Amino acid sequence: MTSAAPARPASPPAPPARRAGFGHVLLSEWTKIRSVRSTVWSLILLVVLTLGITILITAITSAQWNKIGAASRTQIRLDPTNGILGAGLQFGQLTIIVLGVLLITSEYSTGVIRASLLAVPRRLPMLAAKGLVFAAITLVLGEIVMFASFFIGAAILHSHVPVSLSSPNVTRAVVGGGLYLAVLGLFALSIGALVRHTAGAITGVIAFVIVAEPLSSLIPGPWGDHIHDYLPTVAGRLVIQTARTSHQVLSAWQGFGVFCLWTAALFVAAAILLMRRDA
Amino acid sequence: MIEARDLTKRFGPKVAVDHLSFTVEPGRVTGFLGPNGAGKSTTMRLVLGLDLPQGGTATINGRRYRDLPSPLRTVGALLEARAVHTGRSAFNHLLFLAQTQGLPRRRVEEVIDLVGLTTVAGKRAGGFSLGMSQRLGIAAALLGDPQVLVLDEPVNGLDPEGILWIRNLMKALAAEGRTVFVSSHLMNEMAVTADHLIVIGRGRLIADCSTQEFIARSAEQSVLVRTPDPDRLAAAITAAGGNVKVADENADPGGPAAGGATALGVTGLPAARIGELAAAASVVLHELTPRVGSLEEAFMELTADSVEYGQPGQPGQPGQPAQPAHPEQPAVTGRAAGPAAAGSAPGGQDR
């Protein structure tokens, strides 16, 4: 800190000024994500929360099996993956929501966004690379967590509900859980890019994920069923079901497709605004 | 080379930059001056493609910023010092920037050494002082070894040593033939750094000329006269059409009580004419010195009409410029260039 001497920039042998490629931007976004502690902590929390809640809920279910009532027992037998993965996913997804939002809103709150956009002035490659890197991380970790949850939960419930990956629709449901987390990360990232403020964006995503669902359940009749099923995360979570319930409007993959469409629409809106707004 | 043509930017009803045109040439330090809120930062953000103009164009070496194939290798920019993720280390901040341009890790280490942050490169940037953050910002600007540098208030928050360092760095970069465009609201800092000045007020161009020309053109010349008989001299000068003000009497080493002279500041007449008037009136003169106005005065005078905040007409209305007794006294320079001034102007990021 004491170099008062006139400093001349060391001139490196300047490589030819070729256009920086998308691969460079991907590498840069990977460096950004791995170099802050909030990423590491959020991902650790994802694993701990999801596995912890899964173990807790399945253990309680197993211990209380004779007291939980016939309807609940039938429900778990009919849709074991939802019973095993549902609760853990419900909690674990919060970490992905917060991390996805923070990835972009923290750039705005700290001013790093200016540095990022000076380096990638066409802007869209920056957002696309951020989304790709984050989706890849959440997909890999999401699949690991979902498979681990399933194996642990299935082992705990085995005496009451024998279920394995070879049971109908089970592999799709477990793989779907990881896919759901990856798309949810992009969903949160898109809302973060649209809102640009951490608190507002997190509130917005939570409103979709936690508040809208019970509200829509209050709407009676087929209208209510449609609105409920087409809500982004409700639709998205259909993919972890083994069996469809009577009220459901969408199948598992249809639901996941609806969730992907929601996310794509939000991402496109975020990209357009990113290009048009002052940074 | 930076070229702005008819650049216009409005934020709602407020016009921040108003049909602004200028050219920043390579090989010299170009100072970008204006009172707070004049539109300096907005103009720089328009040049860098961060803000989108409602009208006009800004190009760097003939291209819009967003069309530069490898922008950080062409332009280095320092906008606000604290634009770093608080949880990320200085090294990783520079690394992710370098990676976007395909610059090697070795270059990151080079610029860290260059700005003197070697020992703290691995520490979280959130713990950096403003001076260290400013150095990190300079490191980011120099990362791609760019031919064009755009620096917004780079001396803000730096200690005198840091100010000297930035000043020498900017001069060295310009001497290498690079384009150096630096904004400031500290006039005296620009007087010792900039070769050329672009002055704006309320988003409009006020002056675009060399620093010397700016001072000569804008600041009213005054003449310092010391005489033991100020009343008669003042009467003679006033009769000849000049203006007389009694300068700080204590500035005279002897002082009137010690049989010394009174110092008068005379405007409106050249020194030779004052000497003739004194001779004709048989008034003894102890001193007759033409004074060149400081940049600070020149600036105050020029931008008096276009100050965004504060009281109009103070301190320097056109026609009756602020007139300190000794414009180039060290106290003035020290005040403006010292850390106190930098600290007292946190609103430097005008937008």
What pLDDT is stored for residue B314 in this prediction?
A: 42
**Alpha carbons A114 and B50: distance in angstroms, whole number:** 7
Helices (H), B199-294: 211-218, 230-239, 271-280
Helices (H), A120-247: 124-157, 170-195, 198-206, 212-217, 221-230, 232-237
Q: Tell me the mean pLDDT per 10 residues along chain A, length 279.
A: 43 51 95 93 95 96 92 91 94 95 95 95 96 98 97 95 92 97 98 96 91 86 88 93 86 96 98 94
Looking at the predicted structure, is the pLDDT value of residue B339 above 90? no
pLDDT (tens digit per residue) in B168-184: 999 999 999 999 999 98
Answer yes or no: do A3 and B165 touch at CB < 8 A: yes
CA A155 to chain centre: 26
Q: Is the dihedral of CA B98, B99, B100, B104 positive or negative?
A: positive
Read off the pTM.
0.81
Looking at the predicted structure, is the pLDDT value of residue B329 above 50? no
- A115: nearest CB among B65, B83, B168: B83
pLDDT (tens digit per residue) in B38-85: 899 999 999 999 999 999 999 999 999 999 999 999 999 999 877 899
**Alpha carbons A262 and B310: distance in angstroms, whole number:** 50
What pLDDT is stored for residue A13 in this prediction?
A: 43
How is A236-269 classified by DSSP, letter by letter? HHGGG-SS--TT--S-HHHHHHHHHHHHHHHHHH
**Alpha carbons B226 and B288: distance in angstroms, whole number:** 7
Instruction: Count the helix, strand and coil residues of chain A and give each as a percent rounded to the nearest 5.
Output: 75, 0, 25
Looking at the predicted structure, is the pLDDT value of residue B319 above 90? no
pLDDT (tens digit per residue) in B279-292: 999 999 988 888 76
What pLDDT is stored for residue B248 in this prediction?
A: 60
Length of chain A measured in residues: 279
What pLDDT is stored for residue B343 in this prediction?
A: 36
Please report residues of A whose CB lies closer than 8 A to that of B107. 12
What pLDDT is stored for residue B279 in this prediction?
A: 92
Q: Is B10 on the interface with A (CB under 8 A)?
A: no
Length of chain B measured in residues: 351
Q: Exposed, middle or buried: residue B308 (CB in 10 Å: 0-12, 13-18, 19+)?
A: middle
Min CA distance, A178 vs chain B (Å)? 28
Answer yes or no: do A114 and B83 touch at CB < 8 A: yes
CA B165 to chain centre: 16
Q: Is B130 on the interface with A (CB under 8 A)?
A: no
Query: For tokens 């929360």, what's the residue?
Result: A49
**Alpha carbons B82 and B136: distance in angstroms, whole number:** 9
Best of B43, B100, B124, B158 to mutate (most A CBs within 10 Å, chain A): B100
**Alpha carbons B181 and B65: distance in angstroms, whole number:** 15
**Alpha carbons A272 and A185: distance in angstroms, whole number:** 19
User: Which residue of chain B has the CA closest to A103?
Assistant: B85
Please report residues of B whose CB lies closer than 8 A to that of A7. 114-115, 165, 168-169, 172
Q: Of the candidates A254, A204, A229, A177, which has an alpha carbon nearest to the alpha carbon of residue A100?
A: A204
Q: Is B121 on the interface with A (CB under 8 A)?
A: no
- B102: nearest CB among A14, A24, A37: A24
pLDDT (tens digit per residue) in B143-172: 999 999 999 999 887 889 989 999 999 999
pLDDT (tens digit per residue) in A227-260: 999 999 999 999 999 988 878 889 999 999 999 9
**Number of other residues whose CB lies within 10 A of the CB of residue B104:** 12
**Alpha carbons B59 and B48: distance in angstroms, whole number:** 9
B299 vs B1, more confident = B1
Q: Please, which pLDDT band fits residue B295 given cuts at 50, 70 and 90?
A: low
pLDDT (tens digit per residue) in B17-49: 999 999 999 999 999 998 888 899 999 999 999
Q: Is B330 on the interface with A (CB under 8 A)?
A: no
Average pLDDT over residues B110-134: 93
Q: Of the candidates B268, B277, B270, B281, which has an alpha carbon nearest to the alpha carbon of residue B242?
A: B268
- What DSSP element (H or E) covers B201? strand B196-201
User: Which residue of chain A has the CA closest to B107?
Assistant: A12
Q: Please, which pLDDT band fits residue B332 given cuts at 50, 70 and 90?
A: very low
Min CA distance, B134 vs chain A (Å)? 12
Average pLDDT over residues B337-342: 36
Q: B37: alpha, beta or left, given left = phi > 0 and alpha = psi -120 to 50?
A: left
Q: Please, which pLDDT band fits residue B309 given cuts at 50, 70 and 90?
A: low
- For chain A, give the longest Cα–Cα distance: 82
Q: Exposed, middle or buried: residue B279 (CB in 10 Å: 0-12, 13-18, 19+)?
A: exposed
Looking at the predicted structure, is the pLDDT value of residue B323 above 50? no
**Alpha carbons A157 and A155: distance in angstroms, whole number:** 6
**Alpha carbons B18 and B53: distance in angstroms, whole number:** 10
What pLDDT is stored for residue B26 in this prediction?
A: 97
Answer yes or no: do A32 and B68 touch at CB < 8 A: no
Average pLDDT, chain B: 82
Q: Please, which pLDDT band fits residue B96 given cuts at 50, 70 and 90?
A: very high
What pLDDT is stored for residue B340 in this prediction?
A: 36
Q: Of the candidates B147, B60, B141, B71, which has an alpha carbon nearest to the alpha carbon of residue A19?
A: B71
What pLDDT is stored for residue A11 in this prediction?
A: 45
Min CA distance, A122 vs chain B (Å)? 6
Residue B56 phi, psi (nearest 5): 85, 180
Coil, helix or strand at residue B50: coil
pLDDT (tens digit per residue) in B208-255: 999 888 877 766 677 889 888 888 999 999 998 888 888 765 454 544
Answer yes or no: do B145 and A1 touch at CB < 8 A: no
CA angle B259, B265, B271 (to 5 degrees): 100
Q: Which amino acid is at B67?
A: D
Q: Please, are residues A100 and A134 in contact by the beta-carbon 8 Å criterion? A: yes
**Alpha carbons A54 and A76: distance in angstroms, whole number:** 14
Helices (H), chain B: 40-47, 71-74, 90-100, 105-114, 130-142, 160-175, 187-193, 211-218, 230-239, 271-280, 295-303, 330-337, 339-343
